[in-house]
Amino acid sequence: MAADGTPLLELEGVSKRFGPVQALDRVDFAVSAGEVVGLVGDNGAGKSTLVKAIAGINPPDSGAIRFEGREVRISRPQDATELGIATVYQDLALCDNLDVVANLFLGREQVAPGPGRVSRQLNEVKMEHETADLLSNLAVTIPSLRSEVGTLSGGQRQQVAVARSLLGEPKVVMLDEPTAALGVPQTKQVLELIRRLRERNLGVVVISHNLADVFAIADRVFVLRLGRAAGEFKAEDTTEERVIGAITGLGEGRDKNQTSEEGA
Amino acid sequence: MSASQAATAEEAVERRPTTTETLRRIVQGDLSSVRVVLGLVVIAVIFQVQEDRFLSAENLTNLMLQITTIGLISVGIVYVLLLGEIDLSVGAVSGLSAAVMAVLSVKHGWNAYLAIAAAVAVGAAIGCLQGTLFSRFAVPSFVVTLAGLLAWEGALLQVLGKTGSLNITDPKITGLANIFYSDTVGWIFAAVVIAAYGAALAVGYRRRVTAGLGDTNMLSQIVRFVFVAAIVIIAVAILNSDRGVPLAVMILLAFVVGMEYVAKQTSFGRHVFAVGGNAEAARRAGIRVNGVRVAVFTIAGTMAAIGGVMAASRLFAVNQNSGGNELLLLAIAGPVIAGTSLFGGRGSVWTALLGALVIGSISNGMDLLSLSSAVKLMVTGGVLLLAVLVDAIARQQRQTSGRV
């Protein structure tokens, strides 16, 4: 099922219940290094719940999570971060009043050596240098690293948020609706950035409503419907119609997805 | 539009900024302080025309002494404002802390420094308590500190007891606001300040150049240095031609510079700005948001206590009015007038000093003209309203033009 060998991240039979609502029902999911998986489904299908389960925000009730082949417990966001799973949320969680460098290093500022935590000076030069290196590696162009993030365009903000998630050198990056509310050229920039994440051999999970975007970047499309896995497609072997069929549970998609699941 | 914008973005990253661009950035970056300095000039001209004692060395020295307490309290207020919060208790806390110091020193014969330390500890403890209540129970800081305002004023009356007033006689305490240094010491002080500032600029500049970060240029550094050096020399010359450089001014400057360093150059300060800008983002970045909040309110309480000690020293007494009247509102108004945003995440500790200068000048000038309290209060209120409007308009403009 994975593109090559053991998947980087693998979920088996993961369930999550919120009161009377079965948000996730025995879901199996996997992403490999150097692979982009598009996670699609209707509102309330469980996409965000799945991502939050992996990110340690809402740990699953049952089921197993394996990371690099070994079984792990992710019960807090820090657990996910330590494993090397980074998440970029839809609201980006950037501080508009701080500049690009400050946002990238927020919570892990580089300081000069010396006694006392409060009195140590921020190493702005080093942080700016590393920011410039990282952004140029990703071919992200920002007019000035010292401009406030609030003054950047939506696409640039998204790129800053993605770049920030890479500072911890993660192995898996999950992006929640990265192209929502972006214009056409900005969407193109962000999709290009996601391709570069794949080139860096990261496992990438992209939640999106926009099937065109998903087909533009994903190697594999994973469909959730009412908390259940409703189909898994190789992007190159399928069509939007079949994916929509799986999302809605109508039409031929339902039958086809069984075969494509086996085929993929 | 977006396509052309992407193109210009790519060009901009390659292009090195020209001198005019850098100059423009200095002006834009420090726009609010430039605005305040212009405001100060206008105030000075108006009062000088009406009353030629205003710019005399004696009056300017008095002005500096008058703003010490407000300036010190404002330093703590700046931190609270950076969080986007408010602390209404700082006036009452300054009065209570000063009363504690006075009672320990006068009635119990404590050593002056121990009494001062106790006062500062009281301020810090109160700030810590209020910060904890605010962050732990998510009660609006406005309400917590409003309760504090009432409670600590009550505590002040309680501590002072029946007499309602205590005269401070210990010269170690009264000296804080009443010691003036000789001309020589004043010039040495000026030389040290200028040298330290120059060294800091040079080190920062060298580091950026060696790291290959070319977006700074020599001219802007020199302009800054000359500007600051000129102000320091003029200020010391004026103070020396009267009674000399007061210890109080040195204390105020030391706190402003030190706390500005903490705000702008340390990770703690960075976290304060982050929490003020987007608390949820700060939390997700792993910052202990509640810890930052408690620390900031502790700073506000501590600075209020230090301001209270200076006020008591200047008056040689603590009474039931200590820390009362309009002290609280002026301490909050000062930084806002000088450009620290009420909405959090924007500002600097320098605005504590600049704002105190603006408010102090207006108050001092109106006193010289013997205007009534009615006029004074209305004018001060008008200036505050104007400053808040400018802040709000600037914020709206950022929101409309910020996102493209």
B84 touches chain A (CB under 8 A): no
Which of A6, A2, A14 has the alpha carbon at shortest distance from A227? A14
pLDDT at residue B215 in the model:
57
- Kindly report the number of other CB atoms within 10 A of residue B378's CB atom: 12
pLDDT at residue B11 in the model:
38
Banded model confidence at residue A138, pLDDT cuts 50, 70, 90: confident
Domain ranges of chain B: 32-44+52-179+247-399, 183-243
Cβ contact, residue pair B2, A185, below 8 Å: yes
DSSP codes joined into one string, B223-261: HHHHHHHHHHHHHHHHHHHTT-EEHHHHHHHHHHHHHHH
Give chain B positions within 8 Å (CB) of A109: 267, 270
B104-149 residue pLDDT tens:
999 999 999 999 999 999 999 999 999 999 999 989 999 999 999 9
Residue ranges with strand state E in B123-243: 165-167, 180-181
- CA distances (Å), origin B318, targets A153, A227, B112, B117, B163: 55, 69, 15, 17, 11
Q: Output the six-digit token pair for B75.
A: 């330093």
Domain B32-44+52-179+247-399 -> CATH class: mainly alpha
pLDDT at residue A121 in the model:
86
* Residues in contact with B16: Cβ distance below 8 Å, sequence separation at least 6, in sequence order: B214, B215
DSSP reduced 3-state for B128: helix
**Sign of the C-alpha dihedral computed for residues B328, B355, B393 and B80 taken in this order:** negative
pLDDT at residue B7 in the model:
40
Top pLDDT among B15 and A17 is at A17
| pLDDT mean over A111-115 | 80
Cβ contact, residue pair B287, A107, below 8 Å: yes
User: Does the pTM exceed 0.90?
Assistant: no
**DSSP code, position A57:** S
| pLDDT mean over A139-156 | 86
Give chain A positions within 8 Å (CB) of B10: 141
Full set of structural domains in chain A with CATH: 9-94+153-263 (3.40.50.300)
* Residues in contact with B320: Cβ distance below 8 Å, sequence separation at least 6, in sequence order: B156, B157, B160, B164, B165
Per-chain mean pLDDT for chain A = 85
Q: Are A14 and A63 in contact (CB under 8 A)?
A: yes
pLDDT at residue A254 in the model:
44
Cβ contact, residue pair B267, A117, below 8 Å: yes
Most B-contacting residue of A78, A94, A125, A145 (CB-CB within 10 A), to test interface? A125
pLDDT at residue B10 in the model:
39
Q: Is the pLDDT of residue A145 over 90?
A: no
CA distance A117 to chain B (A): 8
**DSSP code, position A120:** P
Give the chain A residue whose CA is nearest to the CA of B7: A141
How many helices and strands, by DSSP H and E, does chain B display? 17, 4
A72-85 residue pLDDT tens:
999 888 888 889 99
Cβ contact, residue pair A144, B2, below 8 Å: no
Which of B27, B2, B269, B286 has the alpha carbon at shortest distance from A152? B2
pLDDT at residue A93 in the model:
84
Which residues of A have a CB under 8 Å from any CB of B?
77-78, 89, 91-98, 102, 106-109, 111, 117-122, 125-126, 128-129, 132, 141-144, 146, 148, 150-151, 153-156, 183-186, 189
**DSSP code, position A103:** H
A–B interface: beta-carbon pairs under 8 A: 117
Q: Output the six-digit token pair for B271.
A: 């976290």
Q: Which residue in the block uniquely carries the two structure tokens 């040195």?
A: B250
Q: Are B356 and B70 in contact (CB under 8 A)?
A: yes
Task: Order across the sheet with A172-176: list the strands.
Answer: A85-88, A172-176, A203-207, A35-41, A220-225, A228-234
Q: Is the pLDDT of residue A256 over 50?
A: no
**Cα(B283)–Cα(B285) distance, integer angstroms:** 5
pLDDT at residue B376 in the model:
84
Q: For residue A45, report the phi and psi dihedrals to the nearest 5 degrees.
A: -75, -15
**Cα(B332)–Cα(B75) distance, integer angstroms:** 10
Cβ contact, residue pair B262, A125, below 8 Å: no
Cβ contact, residue pair A120, B266, below 8 Å: yes
**Cα(A231)–Cα(A257) distance, integer angstroms:** 5
Give chain B positions within 8 Å (CB) of A51: none
Q: Are A218 and A36 in contact (CB under 8 A)?
A: yes
DSSP reduced 3-state for A46: coil
pLDDT at residue B32 in the model:
65
Q: Which of B5, B270, B274 sits opposite A122 (nearest CB)?
A: B270
Cβ contact, residue pair B345, A97, below 8 Å: yes
| pLDDT mean over A171-181 | 89
pLDDT at residue B284 in the model:
83
DSSP reduced 3-state for B116: helix
pLDDT at residue B26 in the model:
45
Taking only the tens of pLDDT, chain B with its 404 residues reads 344 444 444 334 434 445 555 455 444 444 567 778 888 899 999 999 998 899 999 999 999 999 999 999 999 999 999 999 999 999 999 999 999 999 999 999 999 999 999 999 999 999 999 999 999 998 999 999 999 999 999 999 999 988 888 999 999 999 999 999 999 999 999 999 999 999 988 888 888 787 776 656 788 888 889 999 999 999 999 999 999 999 999 999 999 999 999 999 999 999 999 999 999 889 888 889 999 999 999 999 999 999 999 999 999 999 988 888 788 888 998 998 888 988 899 999 999 999 999 999 998 999 999 998 888 888 888 887 887 887 788 777 766 654 33
Top pLDDT among B17 and A172 is at A172
- CA distances (Å), origin A239, targets A21, A30, A79, A260, B144: 31, 21, 37, 12, 60
Q: How many residues does chain A have?
A: 264
**Cα(A195)–Cα(A138) distance, integer angstroms:** 10
Tell how strand B180-181 and strand B245-246 pair up. antiparallel
Q: Is the pLDDT of residue A207 over 60?
A: yes
**Sign of the C-alpha dihedral computed for residues A58, A62, A67 and A71 taken in this order:** positive
